[in-house]
Chain A
């Protein structure tokens, strides 16, 4: 009989405690962001697809050493470069990223010794067509600068 009453009392008390918690939460500020109208800035460690880093002249830092292409376990990266007349260094002519296969492992960024690759903060990438995920990074770099 004592257990019956203590059960009821404890149950009622726990209900009041719960209501106290929701009452306090009610007055606290909202933590969500109304997505399409406002967005969070991504933290530094966020891994989007890779992006080329540019030097002061707006040209890519890449020297076409092919380290990233070799490091990629999924064969996402295809680089082309050529040596223009009278120049000692190779110049990047095409950097194709197949994002459909990329697992964002970061091996390409790790392998790059010339500070030419970084993770972008891009995450609005939904599409219904597969072709939208074959990125021309060189063109993206030019678009950024134009």
Chain B
């Protein structure tokens, strides 16, 4: 009993440290990357390559006072950042970093991650509602309509994978993808068991676009559209309230990339079998950080869409395509 309690506490500490470190240094990577793309150096004053910038930012945020605006709903206002961070942390419990490195392997891991991801938009709604600020409110409404619109194609695409694998267990889903890059789910060629749908690259693309939208990343960052809504739902938050929202955003990016890696990019399998002497966790993290780099790259390439463009893309393009993909996968599974 005491051993399991010890395990749980250890897992929580590791998860929090991983999330915090990732959030801090992804901000650094994002700012450096943005700088390079815009032909400027980015933060380079504090420490070598600006590597001490994240701790400096963190100290600044922690030293600030948490101001609750007059007329705000105090309970919800304080609860919202915690509610934003909590699902992000919980999702890490079930994500396997390799066949053995997983905090808790449960049979419905995929379902659990989606359940927690869905509750994340509740935190945004709380934050926007309780701030008593018109920009925050508008941003919260946008975020929720966006989350509703993009969760449908996200889940439908995930269902196609679940249909092929026949399991919601993330380790099973990875193990079903074979040892080399040709067996991974984003390619239509080979697979263990049933032959795969020819539209697998399309599902990969759909899933990736939906994770971008789900994590409120540019070009779908309408929830915090700086030029229209100042800062969106966290406009009234200073100090670590804002810090938690920021960390949650980056944690969600990591989760989205982890999930894309697990479902489509073969998890911890090396791209070619003879490289299997390198530990699986290295391959997994390599794939995850390449996806994150792509997410950052996308953010600094594309301008923000309009709210109509965003909803049109989901309801008129992504949902029909994902439904067609689902039907095709179901048909192929039935025939072969």
Contacts and interface: CB of A to CB of B under 8 A. Distances in A.
Interface of A: 8, 15, 18-19, 21-23, 25-32, 34
B279 interface: no
B242 interface: no
Contact of A34 (B36, B41, B302): B41
A29 B302 CA distance: 21
Contacts of B39: 25, 28-32
B41 A22 contact: no
Nearest to A19: B301
B37 A30 contact: no
A87 B301 CA distance: 72
Given A23-B297, A26-B33, A26-B36, A18 B41 contact: no
Contacts of B41: 30, 32, 34
Interface residues of B, number: 15
A8 B40 contact: no
A21 B298 CA distance: 11
A109 B301 CA distance: 48
Q: Which of the listed residues A8, A15, A22, A23 has the most CB atoms from chain B within 10 Å of its own CB?
A: A22
B92 to A, nearest CB: 29
Nearest to A31: B39
Given A8-B317, A18-B302, A26-B33, A31 B297 contact: no
A27 B37 CA distance: 8
Nearest to A14: B302
Contacts of A29: 39
Top-9 shortest CB links A-B: A32-B40, A22-B301, A31-B39, A26-B36, A22-B37, A18-B301, A30-B41, A19-B301, A26-B37
A27 B44 CA distance: 17
B300 interface: yes
B301 to A, nearest CB: 4
Nearest to A29: B39
A63 to B, nearest CB: 49
A51 B33 CA distance: 44
A3 to B, nearest CB: 12
B40 A22 contact: no
Contact of B40 (A18, A19, A27, A30): A30
A29 B41 CA distance: 9
Interface in B297-330: 297-298, 300-302, 317
A32 B44 CA distance: 13
B174 to A, nearest CB: 28
Contacts of B317: 8
A22 B317 CA distance: 26
A31 to B, nearest CB: 5
22 contacts: A8-B317, A15-B301, A15-B302, A18-B301, A18-B302, A22-B37, A22-B301, A23-B297, A25-B36, A25-B37, A25-B39, A26-B33, A26-B36, A26-B37, A26-B297, A27-B36, A28-B39, A30-B36, A32-B39, A32-B41, A34-B41, A34-B44
